[in-house]
Structure 1
Amino acid sequence: MQLNDRENLILKTTIEDFISSGIPISSQKLYHCYFHSISPATIRNTLAALEKKGLLKHMHTSSGRLPTDSGYRYYVDTLIQDNTSMIDEYDNVSNSLSAVADNLEDLLQATALMLGKISHLFGVVMVSHQQRSILTDI
């Protein structure tokens, strides 16, 4: 079975979200949490196509999708990538942070830059000048 890039991405995200939460995922959640650049209608159409191919199912008309056995098999055989790149990324992060570990401000700045690069999101770092700080919430 051959899927296009969008189908692969949406199937992979749907399965990984279901694995972590145990809750069927809706097109709205996919849109709001993962795919702001893809319209909800396109996401719904892609989910429907994946369902027709037997990779996803939903229990009720208005419920979210969850993977089928065939969907899990496709995920394991096709979508899970070799962990070598993950190990290389870990080594890069570890080496970069070790290089600036002596200076707290440099360490925080390097951490924010790396997290932004990895997550493709904006990050803000602030250093407290108090002697004793307690982190109560993130």
Structure 2
Amino acid sequence: MNQTAVYRPGVCNIGPAEIRKRRMSGWVGLAVAVGFLILAFALGWAAPWRLLVALPVFLSAQGFLQAAFHFCVGFASRGLYNFGALGSEETVQEAEFHRQDLRKALLITVLAFAIAAAVSVVAYLIPIG
């Protein structure tokens, strides 16, 4: 059995099915971001409009980070975890465990925001020929 297939506060709160779901959301967000940038540069959108790529990049980064960390930000905020089938969440019983989960969720969110900010600044700075 995979070492991360059990709930570990602040470390791991989702199992294989949920990890696949987060990874898929990462791929979808990435596809939307790439499509957005292709359209923006093909149509010559002004640099400020290109900053909007931050939204799909944030969603993509958050999906990939959650999959990599085996940790769901949304579950942490609601005090849940899931290692079974999709939709079979269980409640985190101990307040300290919930606090640890919230700290991990904040870390993932900050990392996703930093990635989105960096990509959007690069998109802003690229000159249109």
* TM-score normalised according to structure 2 size: 0.29
TM-score under structure 1 length normalisation: 0.28
More helix by share: 2
Specify which structure has the bigger relative contact order, considering alpha-carbon pairs within 8 angstroms and separated by 6 or more residues: 2
